[in-house]
Amino acid sequence: MRTPRLPLVAASLAAAVLALPAAAQAKLPSFAHASFTANVGVGGAKLGQGVAAGLRAWGGSRRGACDDLGCIFDDPLHPELGSAVLGYEAGRRGKITKVVLTAGFNRSGRPAFKAPLASLRGAGGIHLGSSESAVRKAYPKAKPVPGQAGFIGLRGRHGYQTFFGFQSGRLIQIVVEDGRRRG
């Protein structure tokens, strides 16, 4: 006896449609400032700042998926837009310890440099998608990161540091973090 496939297909389609609204609610940040500063912060969220203030600078926690260690801001329906992470310690009442911007990737796996993440500007107009030579020119003290091919790093005061990640000669990731050991 052959079982009809229509109910199975209909049930799968209904489950997919029900899952769409939850995924569609995730959004990229809406930055208070369209800039980043090496060893300080990104888009109005600064290292050492209170989590609530940092989240407000990025449009609020409802835009991202948050837990006790940080918030991830992305749009699962549009991976080409990239993602942003706001990391913190001691839960939502703690301080910001890491900010990460990562370029999105198109269907062929190549980096895609789209707003709002690629619209943030640093020294010398550096942004996601900038050439490696432009980043090195804007940040001449940045050095290669040992054991991390494709990354250069810049140390600042208070143990803060910034890393720039490259793929095919283009800036695809910016990490600003508090590099002090915790424990």
| Segment 78-129, tens digit of pLDDT | 989 999 999 999 877 889 999 999 999 999 989 999 999 999 999 999 999 9
In terms of pTM, does the model score above 0.85? no
Tell me if 44 is assigned to some domain.
yes
Domain span at residue 83 reads 27-178
* DSSP-derived 3-state class of residue 94: coil
Tally of domains in the chain: 1
Tell me if 147 is assigned to some domain.
yes
Answer whether 28's CB lies under 8 Å from 63's CB: yes
Closest CA to 167 of 128, 115, 139, 138: 128
**Tally of CB atoms within 10 A around 23:** 10
